Amino acid sequence: MTTSKRAPGEFNVNDQVLIARTKNPGTDHNQYVWVLFCARRLDNGDLCGNLYGANGSDFHLRKCPSCQSGAAGLGFDKLT
């Protein structure tokens, strides 16, 4: 499995922030669930703030399931 150098705090092109990398298996081959946070501004000026899980391999292009019509988020265990 390839190791990603992505670290928490990184943004992708869609204003999704990597919060944490979990050991929960993702839905893609050899992938773990990463926890992402949506830092997009909505039309009313509020921060979206949606927190959801996604395959690590999808991070660079992931869209928010709440405000960008991205794929539904994956489940993950509580962060410790």
Residues binding Zn ion (CB under 5 A): 38, 40, 48, 50, 64, 66-67
| Residues with Cβ within 8 Å of residue 46, at least 6 apart in sequence | none
**Which CB, 14 or 24, lies closer to Zn ion?**
14
CB of residue 37 to Zn ion, shortest distance in Å: 9
CB of residue 48 to Zn ion, shortest distance in Å: 3
**Which CB, 25 or 49, lies closer to Zn ion?**
49
C-alpha–C-alpha distance, residues 34 and 41, integer Å: 22
Would you say 19 and 38 are in contact if contact means Cβ atoms under 8 Å apart? no
